Structure 1
Amino acid sequence: MNFIDLFSGAGGLSEGFIRAGFNPIAHVEMDNHACNTLETRLIFHKLEKEDNLRPYYNYIQGKLDRESFIKKYGDKEITSSVINLSIGGKNNKEIFRLINNLKPDLNVDLIIGGPPCQAYSLIGRARDKDSMLNDSRNYLYKEYAKFLIEYKPKVFVFENVLGLITAKKGEFFKNMKAYFKRIGYEIDYSIQNSADYGVLQKRKRLILIGWKKDIEIEYPVFDKIENNWTLDEILKDLKILKPGEKNNVTKYKSKTTKYLESFKLRNGVDFVTQHIARPHNERDLEIYKIAIDKFIKGKKLKYPDLPKRLKTHKNEKSFLDRFKVVNINGHSHTMVAHIAKDGHHYIYPDLKQVRSLSVREAARIQSFPDDFYFEGGRTAAFRQIGNAVPPLMAEAIANKIAELNI
């Protein structure tokens, strides 16, 4: 089945569908760095089919510059299929034109994607004085629907945060469902937890699936797996890092683990990229040490517990857990894009390396394989990772869509 990915980000959702055998026609994304990541990954899949991944490995190790890599190993079909425009308004006409020029006679069987979730998220609503009610992103589902009207896919998959269900007392979600039905689609939804598909992260998401009214199918029942793995399985083979360490390419510290092997996160070569730690000031490092020490003792750090000299604001009632250690003995809490701004909510759980998570560690928690390369530098990579759909979860969804045989 041929698909278009809207609001693609770095391509976590698309990665799962490609693994399940689906064919990407186009990706539409407004962030330039994420678009570069998409191009890089599409070239990876092309070279993988050709059994010629050496040029890709050379590129992500810095042995080949981007211009040469794109020119020699990319092609017009790949570069043209990644459309760097924001969805909505006058842009839609141009996006339609660009997609239609790619493969004019090709049917679009499927559309996937989820609009930016900040307007629906509980955290976003709590931080905004108007509870995000006036945010234009509340209505991006109508822009998504315009692509359904234009391409008439058999099926679409719409992913978003749970807050969409309760935003404005459920009014947005009610209107959205009615809108999709009005343009010719039966819909149903469920709440899925990425941990049920092998991801070592507690991440619940709304998965809405729509299908044309003349197609007789039902919402799929997803096959969940028992996930007793712990975060230690995806951390212990990586090199010990100091805050601010910038070595893009490193060797693995130890052999692969059963988890990394079972879910194919290690890429079969003897190096890993983007195991990069952000720098921290002395105050943050001291707070991290306190947080890690409490974690080791089975306790959590609350902001009021900090010594007065380490506090920077007087509000001791809101966001008490702004310094949080990832649970090495279980699953991580939800990875979000805020990790691009600071690492306070993702502290590495070891007093031997006091810091926040590296780019590669965050990517692994989101179930991205080690051969997935994020363009744009450390901050851009963190933002892409935090915004992504975990590929393992995406693949489980894709497999069920494939089983519908439509």
Structure 2
Amino acid sequence: MQNKSSEGTYNFIDLFAGAGGLSEGFMQVGFSPIAHVEMNPYAAKTLETRTGYFYLKEQGKLNIYYDYLKGNISREKFLEYIPERLLQSVICETMSDESLPELFERIDKSMKEQGISHVDVIIGGPPCQAYSLVGRAQSSHMKVPMNEDPRNDLYKLYARFLKKYQPEMFVFENVMGIESANGGETWKKIKAQLKRVGYEIEPQERNARTFGVLQNRRRMIIVGWKKGTNYSYPEFQDKTSDAIVEDLLNDLPKLVPGAGKDVSEYRSGEYSDYLKTMKLRSDDDVLTLHKARPNKDRDIEIYKRAIEAWDDGKGSRLNYNSLPEELKTHKNRHSFVDRFKVVEGKDHYCHTMLAHISKDGHYFIHPDIKQHRSITVREAARIQSFPDNYFFEGPRTAQFVQIGNAVPPLMAKGIAEGILSVLKQGE
């Protein structure tokens, strides 16, 4: 039996929240957050900022938020406008056996203050490197073998939250490799643990592009519901788009490597129907984080060759071994030979956004040869379906990590709509 919050909406707790992509989708559908738990301080600051955005929007005072983005007021001044109880809902803490008692205490206090006696949904997904197929491919270079990675056991902490708060449903998002990690043993343990605390579960492979995201991003969406209820796995509405990736990029100022500003003007007042329909840009938005990282002359030359190959009419990828010797710097000539990759501007979706973009932009080269650069933070955020009014805190490297690791908000919104439908049917 659900116990909605005092505002009459369903509530949720977000674990391993990251920059809030999954939470964003649930909030857009109308779910109310009880708490976000995230260990990374930059991501936690981003969550605080987004919490401020939603509060000021509700109060009709978004001008304060935009003043902050423009640098007209300090972060300290901006946060003064946000109720302390909302800021305290963002808990920057590493989840562990030792930290859980305090986390429970803080969340219990928040629930009491909000008049909430029951949690409706728990969402989140433990960091996925320990389960990922790419991670396993690189495991021979790691200090800790993949099967000994402590992140393999983070699901146990998730299960303890389920056991304590007994939500009606939960969403456990993760990578495709979760079912085969450690020869399938990890998945067996996860299933057993989640069932042991009182839930029926079902995993289904989902692709972000079926939720309207212009990105080919396959993920495992595990949904659980209380045993003995009439809930089931949601039916997600197909929102595959006819837009192309350039529809995400063409209204933004053209940049060369090293150019751009933290706050800037749009190239045009006109923007694509896709951006309008998906509400990724509005007439009131302030353009932030559209600043290109500098690139070495050697990399710029490689970028141009990669774009030329992609534009040859066949969509050919540059093979690293085909480069002239003077442009090659990597000793490894056998694996990752597609390490220079162009964003598929004319296609309906881009290849999967990765946190590795924080290290270099070689895997995400802008499709315009005249710009011959890697994509900006704002362009990466759009590919992940974050709206332009979403601001990422921290240095550029931290911003890219947050974006690359996130659940695309449009995908999260579709998942939230499915969960909401199931909950309403169960009333």
Query: TM-score by structure 2 length?
Result: 0.93
How far residue 268 of structure 1 moved from its aligned partner, in angstroms, is 2.2
Structure 2 counterpart SS, 1:187? strand
Residue in structure 2 matched with residue 83 of structure 1 by the alignment = 91
**Distance in 2 (alpha carbons) for counterparts of 1:284 and 1:231:** 23
Gaps of 5+ in 2: 1-9
Runs of 4+ in 1 over 4 A off after TM superposition: none
Residue in structure 1 matched with residue 246 of structure 2 by the alignment = 232
**Distance in 2 (alpha carbons) for counterparts of 1:360 and 1:309:** 33
How far residue 324 of structure 1 moved from its aligned partner, in angstroms, is 0.4
How far residue 132 of structure 1 moved from its aligned partner, in angstroms, is 1.2
8 Å contact kept, 2:66–2:286: no
> What is the RMSD of the two structures over their aligned residues, measured on CA atoms?
1.2
Residue in structure 2 matched with residue 349 of structure 1 by the alignment = 367
How far residue 253 of structure 1 moved from its aligned partner, in angstroms, is 1.0
**Distance in 1 (alpha carbons) for counterparts of 2:152 and 2:283:** 43
Q: Which amino acid aligns with 2:82?
A: G
1:248 aligns with 2:262: yes
8 Å contact kept, 1:252–1:270: no
How far residue 377 of structure 1 moved from its aligned partner, in angstroms, is 2.2
Gaps of 5+ in 1: none
Trace 1:5-404 onto structure 2 (pairs within 5 A): 5-71=14-80, 73-104=81-112, 106=116, 107-129=118-140, 132-254=146-268, 255-269=270-284, 271-297=286-312, 298-330=315-347, 331-404=349-422
Shift in CA distance, 116/347, structure 1 to aligned 2, threshold 3 Å: same
Which of 302-311 and 217-226 deviates more?
217-226
Structure 1 counterpart SS, 2:220? strand
Q: Which amino acid aligns with 2:382?
A: R
**Distance in 1 (alpha carbons) for counterparts of 2:244 and 2:43:** 29
How far residue 103 of structure 1 moved from its aligned partner, in angstroms, is 2.3
Structure 1 counterpart SS, 2:104? helix
Structure 2 counterpart SS, 1:10? coil
**Distance in 2 (alpha carbons) for counterparts of 1:284 and 1:131:** 33
8 Å contact kept, 2:126–2:174: yes
Q: Which amino acid aligns with 2:276?
A: E
Q: Which amino acid aligns with 1:338?
A: H
How far residue 182 of structure 1 moved from its aligned partner, in angstroms, is 1.2
Structure 1 counterpart SS, 2:204? strand
Q: Which amino acid aligns with 2:97?
A: G
Q: Which amino acid aligns with 1:122?
A: L
**Distance in 2 (alpha carbons) for counterparts of 1:15 and 1:171:** 32
How far residue 131 of structure 1 moved from its aligned partner, in angstroms, is 5.7
8 Å contact kept, 1:222–1:396: yes
Identity %: 51
Q: Which amino acid aligns with 1:373?
A: F
8 Å contact kept, 2:11–2:120: yes
**Distance in 1 (alpha carbons) for counterparts of 2:89 and 2:225:** 25
8 Å contact kept, 2:286–2:388: no
Q: Which amino acid aligns with 2:56?
A: L
**Distance in 2 (alpha carbons) for counterparts of 1:382 and 1:82:** 21
Q: Which amino acid aligns with 1:336?
A: L
**Distance in 2 (alpha carbons) for counterparts of 1:110 and 1:226:** 26
Q: Which amino acid aligns with 2:177?
A: G
Q: Which amino acid aligns with 1:119?
A: A
How far residue 270 of structure 1 moved from its aligned partner, in angstroms, is 5.7
